[in-house]
Amino acid sequence: MAEQPLHPTPGKKVNLSKFDPDYKGDYDKGMAREEERELEDKLADLQERLYAEGKQSLLIVLQAMDAGGKDSTIKHVFDQVNPQGVRVTSFKVPTAEELAHDFLWRVHQKAPAKGYIGIFNRSHYEDVLVVRVNEYVPRPVWEKRYDQINAFERLLAESGTRILKFFLHISREEQKERFLERLNKPDKHWKFSRGDLPVREKWDDYMSAYEDALTRCNTDYAPWHIVPANRKWYRNLVITRTIVRTLEAMNPQFPPAEPDLDQIVIPD
């Protein structure tokens, strides 16, 4: 297969069946791991600069089907980064209080402050995915949300937040393998939920909902990336590389030192 684009062209309809979840370019596991380790060192350095500079922030959105690798991505991609500068938010079924507000209310509160990297494990996109597939709100309500999401993300972008959105693309077969692994390994039992099975049954509805989100909310200021995610090592490489390139482009700088530091004598 030819080189697979990671970032679909804005304005063009996304057809997920054209994106191979097994894609791995010319990489094997060893090469990918080695390159990822080098990138992780860069990521740690760039994160420190972002924090020290305190002027810009980075928001990383992770979306996937169950067992798609969101938790594992967070664990592996950020394991060299200073936890003090990173805030992870996992969005669950909304509480009564959250449901009593507009759908972005709980999300906006968790947007990263200047100097921070914010990671969303699920996000406001659930409100056009699970909510749409299960008709938790009527169509005219979720239909408006694509524009509302774009407006919200534009506000964040214009306020100094770079946004990167990753869809971890696994195949239906791969999900089955991962569910079976959860069932077969006692230390993974806690990750298995019977509730994930009815979601799996609606796989095609979810893919359609994802295609719409990936098409309608794929903007210059908040681009989507479709990550081939059947191979965890390729997934980690692609995500780490994309984050590093983005931070390099943001080019955070250490603030200037106080003057005359070389004159300072530390008293005994």
CB of 66 to Mg ion, least distance (A): 5
Q: Is the CB of 51 or the CB of 125 nearer to ligand AMP?
A: 125
Q: Provide Rg for the chain, Cα atoms.
A: 20
Q: Is the CB of 201 or the CB of 220 nearer to Mg ion?
A: 201
The option from Mg ion, ligand AMP, none interacting with 85 (CB < 5 to 8 A, set by class) reads none
Nearest residue to ligand AMP on Cβ basis: 126
**Which residues of the shown chain bind ligand AMP in the complex (CB under 6 A)?**
91-94, 122, 126-127, 130-131
Using the 8-state DSSP alphabet, how is residue 138 labeled?
-
CB of 215 to ligand AMP, least distance (A): 20
Q: SS3 breakdown of the chain: % helix, strand, coil, rounded to 5?
A: 50, 10, 35
- Terminus-to-terminus CA distance in the chain, angstroms? 68
Beta strands of the chain (E only): which ranges? Answer: 57-64, 86-90, 117-121, 161-169, 224-228
Residues 6+ apart with CB under 8 A from 17: none
The option from Mg ion, ligand AMP, none interacting with 174 (CB < 5 to 8 A, set by class) reads none
Q: Which residues pair with 63 in a beta bridge?
A: 167
Binding mask 60-89 for Mg ion (x = CB under 5 A): ------x-----------------------
Q: Is the CB of 66 or the CB of 126 nearer to Mg ion?
A: 66
User: What are the structure tokens assigned to 231, written together?
Assistant: 């191979």
The option from ligand AMP, Mg ion, none interacting with 130 (CB < 5 to 8 A, set by class) reads ligand AMP
